[in-house]
Amino acid sequence: MLPDLIATRSQLRDGATTTAAELERCIEAARAPANTHSFVRTLFDAARTTAVQLGAANQPLAGLTVSVKDLFDIAGQPTPAGSTVLSEAPVAVADCPAVARLRAAGASLIGRTNMVEFAFSGVGVNPHFGTPAAWDARFGALPGAPRVPGGSSSGAGVSVATGAAFLGLGSDTGGSIRIPAALNGIVGFKNTARLVPTAGAVPLSTTLDTACAMTRTVRDAIVVHEVLAARHVTRSPAPLSQYRFAVPSTLFLDALDATVARAFERSVDALRQAGAHIDTIDLPAVLEQPAYGFAAPEAYAWHRDLLQRAGDRYDPRVRMRIEKGATLMAWEYIDLLQARQQWIARMLAGMEGYDALLSPTVPIVAPRIADVAPAEGVDKAQDAARDAEFFRVNNLLLRNTSVVNLLDGCALSLPCHVQGELPVGLMVWHGALQDDTVLNAGLQIEQLLQKQ
């Protein structure tokens, strides 16, 4: 596995490498075939300038490379959000807060990463700019036909997995950080939403959107979260034997494919052998949400004028779901807000007494791109079959992760597969503002699983 941010900072301090050398390695990776379609815009020259100016190893990010999802404002650049609809929009006059905090910590921005159009999918497919293929950060190229990278932060995930970036800034509304983390064998941390500003980012759901990042390791995730949230993570040296974990049987373990089931069971067994207390529990049924829940009506409120002017330029799969939001009545939306708070209370009551919950991040391994991506020159029956498979896969990929967003919670996805398996993510999660406990537990779990 590639050296992580913290290891590289140590090498910088010891004089074993330089920011210029590390940047050129990342640029080489960004230009490699593994990153085809990962970037919609590269910033190599600007990154070189930053690496020279801000290469001091005493900064949290030490002049090292960061990729930025295409929905975040970067001063002087347009913010297309993975679409052609906003290609002529005015350039951003300032960095969004998340980007500004990364720059202030010494980050070199290597490029804007590809994404699902307007962030509306967990699969990672983009018909406008192509679809990057998943890459296993732990064990290298995936066997067989190219597989979906997960979305919506697709290019961000691949940029980190391939070594083009030490961290990928992205967003998570229903799993858009954790899904690509799981499918690319890297770490993704979805913090409690309120901890990092989402201003200056094209919204999907103003209720659920979270600004966060993917990294190579959990210890890097802690450093990056501290930068993005402008807060200190309270560290705990507690061993796994002092943690109480719960595995919810409701929904999260349904219809697991064989690879995911094997990796998850092996991970839970390893935690038990390390002395962790683990119970299997039932939780309340997931909150029912009409018309794609919060995302579609909140997205429609933002998009309705654009749809009238340029609806034919949207990915039809994205447009269909956004327009579904127009069908939700005001009273239904208000009822949904109230129902969510009641459901959160029931969920937290069921989780009481546990430090964190454990689940597979997603229930399946990455499907082949060819099975779900729209294609030119196919007949209507083939196109309809791909649409059906896309929506089936999308629902599965979002199923586990979206529960945490509805809960207003925090979650960490870390790789739990071994060599010879497709990437699988283990999700460690809890309710709002339990970020430090989840990160500390995840650090201990990662150290254990890396021995497998």
Catalytic site positions:
69, 152, 176
* Complete DSSP assignment for 4-35: -HHHHHHHHHHTSS-HHHHHHHHHHHHHSGGG
DSSP track, 279-295: EEE--PPPPP-GGGTTH
Residue with tokens 């970037």: 39
The DSSP H or E segment spanning 438 is helix 435-449
* Helix-helix angle 380-406:330-351, to 10 degrees: 60
Q: Is 178 helix (H, G, I), strand (E, B) or coil?
A: helix
Helix (H) or strand (E) holding 339: helix 330-351
Q: 113 has which bridge partners?
A: 39, 69
- The DSSP secondary-structure symbol of 53 reads H
Cβ-contact 23, 47 below 8 angstroms? yes
Of residues 100, 98, 92, the one with CA closest to residue 75: 92
User: Cβ(107)–Cβ(66) under 8 Å?
Assistant: yes
d(CA 373, CA 123): 9
Q: Name the phi and psi angles at 281, rounded to 5.
A: -130, 160
Using alpha carbons, list the distances in angstroms from residue 325 to 104, 302, 336, 339, 398: 38, 11, 13, 18, 18
Smallest Cα–Cα separation from 23: which of 59, 66, 60?
Answer: 66
